[in-house]
Amino acid sequence: MNLELPIYLDNNATTPMDPRVLEAMLPYFVEKFGNAASRNHSFGWVAEEAVDYAREQVAKLINADPKEIILTSGATEADNLAIKGVFEMYATKGDHVITCTTEHKAVLDTCKHIEKLGGHVTYLDVKEDGLIDLEELKNAITDKTILISIMYGNNETGVIQPVREISAIARKHGILFFTDATQAVGKIPVDVNADGIDLMAFSAHKMYGPKGVGALYVRRKNPRVKVTAQMDGGGHERGMRSGTLNVPAIVGFGKACELCMNEMESEAKRLSVMRDRLETSLMELEETYVNGTREHRLPHTANISFKYVEGEGLMMGFNKNIALSSGSACTSASLEPSYVLKALGLGDDLAHSSLRFGLGRFTTDEQIDFTITAIKDTVIKLREMSPLWEMFKEGVDINAIEWAHH
């Protein structure tokens, strides 16, 4: 068996670029190097034409009009532009934003920024399955609410929120609906019209395109949505986002969208079968739990906790061979468990013992076989060394133990 290691199963963090995307980009670095805003010569026209075509490819994937695509440096910038841009543009209407505790940091931190500016933000909790409660959403609305910001698919659990129901509630109250769809676009069908989306952020590097480029979809009619620019300059991107366009990356973004459009359906089938096989095999271990609903989630994502094993330790067991994310992100020196998993009601022990599997276009069945074996072996080995596991097997109620605090 010719299996190249390490195996990459962290496709929710970033994806490798598809070679077909690179091929499309190459001419725009050296020969066709023009600035898309240079209107006086053929170098500029060639670049502008390439951008126009890419914009069409991006728009088509989400069933939008090309004029509704504002090109940005990625989803983080698009999140900022959407939330801050709506907050400023609609200030006379109100200052209240509704979001959710499991959003990406780019949304949560932007909302925190708005609170500093005097805005009001409601952070909805999620249920154990990771979904928001639509009744709670309705109850959170006030006459000052201008924006509902709820992500499409979660980056850690893969949970897909009820976007159409949320947008219907927003529309009924004349409130704009923004969704960070970074994990969803290109993986599952996302249609801004059928889904009732007013603003939507997404990124090329989560869908086999280049890093450093993304888009904010801004609806042009019913309703016509406007955001104030957060980056000022020559009035590029319909005045909403100035700056010389990154032509090669945009060309790559367009190509990546086209490939996703053509291959998404078969790809989703292939990946969900693989993901389910991985999950079913790993669930054969005792005290193993899937985090988030299994019914409403992205086809390529699984988040699993292995009780009585520490996620970081687990990763060290096979780290050289498999690239994964653990639910205890060691940012700096703190071992904080994932805020997304905590929001689902997981205790620290389970949040710390979780692994996120992000399958992708280049994941193979052989890689999944290897992963199943490696993880099972490591979990069993680590549990054998764990005094907690021994106590659990002996029937001790571990939650009742009084730990000595230093």
Spatial contact of 227 and 81, defined as CB atoms under 8 Å apart: yes
Query: Do the Cβ atoms of 299 and 345 come closer than 8 Å?
Result: no
Retrieve residue 115's tokens: 């609170």
Q: Sort strands 145-149 and 96-100 into parallel, antiparallel or unpaired.
A: parallel
236: phi then psi, degrees, rounded to nearest 5: -65, 165
Looking at residue 179, its amino acid is T
**Active-site positions?**
330
Cα–Cα distance, 204 to 280 (Å, whole number): 31
Q: Which two tokens stand for residue 93?
A: 């209407």
Determine the Cα–Cα distance for residues 196 and 191; give it in Å rounded to an integer.
Answer: 8
Confirm if 53 and 245 have CB atoms less than 8 A apart. no
Rounded Cα gap, residues 188 and 265, in angstroms: 8
> Do 356 and 329 contact (CB within 8 A), yes or no?
no
- Write down the residue that tokens 């590029």 correspond to: 236
- Cis peptide, bond prior to residue 16, ω within 30 of zero: no
Residue 186 burial (10 A CB sphere; 0-12, 13-18, 19+): buried
**How many CB atoms within 10 Å of residue 120?**
15
